[in-house]
Structure 1
Amino acid sequence: MEVSMITVKFFGLLNVDNNIKHLTVDDGKFKDVIEEIITKCPTITKKQLLSSVIFINKKQVASKKSLSITLNNGDEIAFISPSSGG
């Protein structure tokens, strides 16, 4: 039986602050993927993820609408933390 996995990539402060560039998680609903990311990387919060710019398969999605999206084997999510400046 083939394992269904999706790739999650982190950019910006999510990458720097948590020292993680990417990981793989089980496919399923986006909201379940969020919970799996938090379990695997406890330094990342749900708020950080949902306040990020989110791309699924290189298409930007609204974070509120993304929770109901079903992700399939081979899909890719990218979280880009909002920039900060001064």
Structure 2
Amino acid sequence: MSSSGHGHTPAAWTGVIISFIGFCVSGAFIVLANVPGFWAGMVLIGLGAVVGGLMRMAGLGSEPKRAAKPSPAAQVRPQES
């Protein structure tokens, strides 16, 4: 699984780090019973997803996997009798 390169890009790392900080902020403010602080953390979580997506579109993420093309031998049709 580690050979797939899933998540090993600057875009993925940045998005996850921002979202993790938002998760920590939301968790801390829930314990402190501070509703605006909780929602600020939730906004950070969404911001992490947006920043990661923008960085990926800017070329700092991995290319999407494309379906493998069938080999020419697989495209040969059997002859009709």
Q: Which of the five TM-score ranges fits, normalised by the shorter chain? A: under 0.3
Greater C-alpha Rg: 2
Report the structure, 1 or 2, having the larger helix content: 2
Report the structure, 1 or 2, having the larger strand content: 1
TM-score by length of 1: 0.22
TM-score by length of 2: 0.23
Q: Which has the higher contact order (CA 8 A, sep 6+)?
A: 1
